[in-house]
Amino acid sequence: MAKPVELNEVWIDRIIQSINGLEYGTVQIIIHDGRVAQIERTERKRFDNETKRSAAGAEAKLHIERKASDGRG
């Protein structure tokens, strides 16, 4: 039979800290022998389409500027 998980205030605070400020992502709580052994946080950044287009435009502009400064433009 599985052991009940032991959580004290320290681990509860660590879990809350891992969750706070997380907009997109996951928090995994790893348990060994009924005790929290590790907390893993994976954060993702999402950008809307307008931001993607702006970034692509800036990258294309930089590429054009580099070619012009190399004398290939």
Instruction: Note the pLDDT of residue 58.
Output: 75
Q: Which two tokens stand for residue 33?
A: 């022998």
Per domain, the residue ranges of the chain are 9-69
CA distance 70 to 1: 71
Instruction: Note the pLDDT of residue 65.
Output: 74
Q: Is the pLDDT of residue 73 over 60?
A: no
Instruction: Note the pLDDT of residue 37.
Output: 93
Please list the alpha-helical segments (H only) found in 1-73.
Answer: 9-19, 49-69
Give the global pTM: 0.56
Band (pLDDT 50/70/90 cuts) for residue 69 is confident
**Which tens digit of pLDDT belongs to each residue from 7-60?**
899 999 999 999 998 999 999 999 998 899 999 999 998 888 765 666 777 777
